[in-house]
Every structure is written in structure tokens, then in C-alpha cells.
Amino acid sequence: ATISLSDLEKIQVLGHGNGGTVYKVRHKRNSNIYALKVVHSDCDPINRRQIFREISILRRTDSPYVVKSHSVFEKPGGDVAILMEYMDRGTLENLIKSGVNFSEEILAKIAYQVVQGLEHLHSHKIIHRDLKPSNLLVNSEMEVKIADFGVSKIMCRTLDPCNSYVGTCAYMSPERFDPDTYGNNNDGSYNGYASDIWSLGLTLLELYLGHFPYLGEGQRPDWATLMCAICFGEPPSLPESVSKEFRSFIECCLQKDSSKRWKASQLLGHPFLQKVKRP
Ligand code: ADP
Ligand code: MG
């Protein structure tokens, strides 16, 4: 049966974001729980464009590693809402903030799922462009799913230039600031697929360290310094104490030269992911 908005009651706010709010909602008759992302009609046109972009991407994807959308509600010129599966442990950012220590075994499980999700997106010519802990959702079975496609891009042609400045600066790869040095498309644009892999590497490193890799614990970012560190510094790396597989995996993701960075399909065969038990 199709669900209508009047079947749903709001339970609580799960998060606020760009021009919208995500609610936990319950289906009044069968008590099923969902997440409902609502973007109001009076929001900025940019936010409105973002939610339609997100809807078109969610419609194209079908993967256990990408958050599922059940339906879309839209009044012409009015509010737009996406009904999604509810992820009961929130985001990986929440888990970092609550002080969870991620073992290598757990990190391999997380990495495996995010790489599967990226492989699915990239093979459908979708670049996420804003991969980071707050856009990765988790549930109590430790399933991890990629969410928030507001600034993602669908590549129409393989040579479509990918050069707009979107996403969260901190997780941007060197070639997004300086494609002439670190990009590889020969036309001044960067390889967006490779940029997602950089963001994956930083995200995993952040989960391991408990804080954003380029900054000390509790240190606030100064954007100019951070951008210089990303472009001119060595890529951040793991301490000596970790396994050589984990260290190598992070190195494969955090190659500054985007042409040397591994692709999602290659990472699936990396030794770090070989021990993960497949569901
Ligand atoms: P924004 O573009 O506003 O960042 P997100 O899709 O990232 O939108 O959602 C904002 C926040 O809402 C997330 O960081 C998360 O805390 C919460 N959230 C979003 N979707 C879900 C979901 N399916 N299940 C549980 N929480 C969610
Ligand atoms: Mg988000």
C-alpha cells in the first residue's frame, strides 16, 4: 500500500540541515518507523534544487549500502519530503562524538560497506561529493549506508567536467583545490570519482583517531591553513601501531595524485577488506 503524509506522525527531530529538517516518524496504523526529510517551500532555491537532485539520485540507486527512499511527497510549489528507511544509530559523526573507539575489525566492516556503496554509485556514474562521517548512517546491526545526495552529481558523459566547488571543504581532495597539479582529466577538471575515495580515506582515519586528521583534538579549522595543508602537506597517515593492511588501505585512498588513488572496485580486493565476513 502506498503511504501518504497523513499516515505519518512526527516523533522527534533527527537532524537539521541545509534548508530542511529530518524527522523520525511513525506510521499510525502499522507503527513502522521511518525518517522523513522535509524541505520547506519558502527555502532558498539552492536548497530546493538540492532536494530534487537528491530525489533523482535516490531513485536511480538500489543498494544495501545506500540509504533507501520509500516515497517522495511533493505539493507543487510547496514542501517537498522524502520518506527514507530509519537508521537507528544516527551518523558516524554521532558515534565519534560519543567517544566510541573503533577497532580495526569494526573499521574494516565500515570500510567494506562504504566502498561497496561507492562502487555502486560510481558504476551508476554518480559522484557523491560530500562523503564524511555526518553523511554516513548506521543502524544497530552495524549496517552503514551512504546518505545525503544534496550536492552529488550524475555524470552524463564520461568526460563531463567536474569542477564546481561544492561539498564540505575539509574533506575535499587536493585536486579539487588545484586540478592542474593533482587532477588527471587533461582539461582542468578533476576526477570526481577519485575525490570520493579521498573523502573515504579521511573519514576512516577520523574514525580511528577520534578527531579530524588535519587538526588536533578540539582544534578549530582555519580554512586557509587547512587548504594549504591538504594541497602542500604530506597526506595524513596512521600511527605505527596499526596493521600493515590498514595502513596500506588508507595510503591507497589518500594518494595526493588522484590518478594513483585506488578506485572503489580495486579497494574491494584490498587485503584490509579480505577478513570482513560477508553477509
Ligand atoms: P543535510 O543535507 O541537511 O545534511 P542529511 O541527509 O545529511 O541532510 O540529514 C541531516 C541529519 O539528519 C543527518 O546528519 C542525520 O543526523 C539525520 N538523518 C538523516 N537521514 C536519516 C535517516 N535515514 N535515519 C536517521 N537519521 C537520519
Ligand atoms: Mg548531511
pLDDT digits (tens, 9 = 90+) for 41-73: 787 888 888 888 899 999 999 999 999 999 999
The set of catalytic residues is 130
167, 184, 189, 231 from 181: Cα distances, Å: 20, 8, 11, 9
pTM: 0.93
- The number of the ligand nearest the C-alpha atom of 11 reads 1
- The number of the ligand nearest the C-alpha atom of 151 reads 1
Ligand 1 centroid–CA 89 distance in Å is 11
Q: Is 28 annotated as a binding residue?
A: no
Residue 184 has pLDDT above 70, yes or no: no
Which residue CA neighbors atom 23 of ligand 1 most closely? 86
Q: Is 135 in the pocket of ligand 1 (CB under 6 A)?
A: yes
User: CA-to-CA distance for 119 and 127, rounded, in angstroms?
Assistant: 10
Residues 128, 121 contacting (CB under 8 angstroms): yes
User: CA-to-CA distance for 179 and 164, rounded, in angstroms?
Assistant: 11
Q: What is the ipTM of this complex?
A: 0.97
Q: Is 173 in the pocket of ligand 1 (CB under 6 A)?
A: no
What is the mean pLDDT of the segment spanning 142-160?
Answer: 82
